[in-house]
Amino acid sequence: MGRPPCCEKTGLKKGPWTPEEDQKLIAFIENNGHGSWRALPAKAGLRRCGKSCRLRWTNYLRPDIKRGKFSLQEEQTIIQLHALLGNRWSAIASHLPKRTDNEIKNYWNTHLKKRLEKMGIDPTTHKPKMESLIHFKDGSNLSHMAQWESARLEAEARLVRESKLQEQNNIVLTSSSQPPQQPRLILNKITPQPSLPPCLDVLKAWQSSCSQNKNNNDKKKTMHVHSMYAMMLATDDLESPTSTLCFPQSMVSTNQIGLMNNENYLLPPEVATVKEDGCCGGDGDSSESSWRYFTKHSTDRDEEVMPCLQDDDIMVAVDALRGGGYYGNNDVVAMAFTPLSSNVNMAVGFSNEVQDFDSNQDLATENLEVHFEENKDYWNSMLGYK
């Protein structure tokens, strides 16, 4: 048996509501509540179907609806949530008090979507369009994607469990190697974040991934553990109702972390990375001191990849991604990121493939700068730095 229509189609009015109809609906609901929408029109004296009444009430007449222009903050929230949730308008609306899903959907389609497209950002993936294309060329990422996603889910579950057991202690990152007048990290002051529990499942997955690749093209398979791990942890505070968010292609193949000094130079890739042979980048070149944060452990070539990562380094990387601000020493600015893992990838200009930095380094760095410059305003506004 086919499903019957929600209401009698014949004789029911459609189209725009008149003020009289609005008044009837408002008066009835204020006096009686809406109850069964199906039964409401007859009781309220309206020649409309229940569905139409519900829509009119929820999207327009409800007293707790805010109408009018969206504020900058609301725009930012929508974009951030859309990056997380996709076209789940009701979920997005639940984070924007007094805004309806329909209104948000319309605003997205008519304003925000176009704005992103104009900036060369794919409004679906929230990544630069070129980058998306590059990714799809690399099918080798797929197995890693699954591995990462699996690990992430496990980590998420763990975090939920742990968060119920632990006090929320803000992590204050200091380093004994830092001069006292130069706090290791002040990022938390800018964007306070909940504490960062260790994410060992993720780390393990990454470690395993590294070891599997160890015999392949040693130099070309440069592993950028800092950035990977930081990105992974940076997603911890995402309210991720599904397992589909953001991680995918770009995260898996991410291999550069972007840091800038105050002259807008991007951190050279070999400095920002941790290579598979256990050596964090830098190689003692002259840039080592100015990019000190990522080269702290670079001299110890005998270390395994994972031991090479010190907790505080990871945390700094994570906070760089999550919060943004200065790394106290001189002039290094960690770019700022919050909830948008996939966007982060674009904004700092992570490259997308395991690259041969011997030959492509300059190009890669240049691309990072271009990516960042093109979208700087967008990210600044997103992050409230304007």
Partner DNA sequence: AACAAGGTCAACCGCGGGCTA
Partner DNA sequence: CTAGCCCGCGGTTGACCTTGT
Residues found near DNA in the complex (CB under 7 A): 1, 3-4, 6, 13-17, 35-39, 48, 50-52, 54-56, 58-60, 67, 87-91, 101-103, 105-107, 109-111, 114
Comparing CB distances to DNA, the nearer of 109 and 143 is 109
Give the type of residue at 162. Answer: E
d(CA 85, CA 325): 27
Q: Shortest distance, CB of residue 128 to DNA, whole angstroms?
A: 22
Which residues does 134 contact at the CB level (< 8 Å), separation at least 6? 352, 353
d(CA 357, CA 233): 26
Torsional sign, CA 60, 65, 67, 71? negative
Q: Shortest distance, CB of residue 336 to DNA, whole angstroms?
A: 29
Comparing CB distances to DNA, the nearer of 8 and 300 is 8
Tokens of 381: 């506004």
Comparing CB distances to DNA, the nearer of 70 and 247 is 70
Q: Shortest distance, CB of residue 18 to DNA, whole angstroms?
A: 9
Q: Shortest distance, CB of residue 2 to DNA, whole angstroms?
A: 8
d(CA 116, CA 119): 5
Q: Shortest distance, CB of residue 86 to DNA, whole angstroms?
A: 8
Comparing CB distances to DNA, the nearer of 49 and 203 is 49
Tokens of 228: 């990977």
Tokens of 261: 């000094």
Comparing CB distances to DNA, the nearer of 12 and 153 is 12
Comparing CB distances to DNA, the nearer of 102 and 261 is 102
d(CA 293, CA 326): 11
Tokens of 116: 């992103």
Q: Shortest distance, CB of residue 9 to DNA, whole angstroms?
A: 8
d(CA 175, CA 187): 14
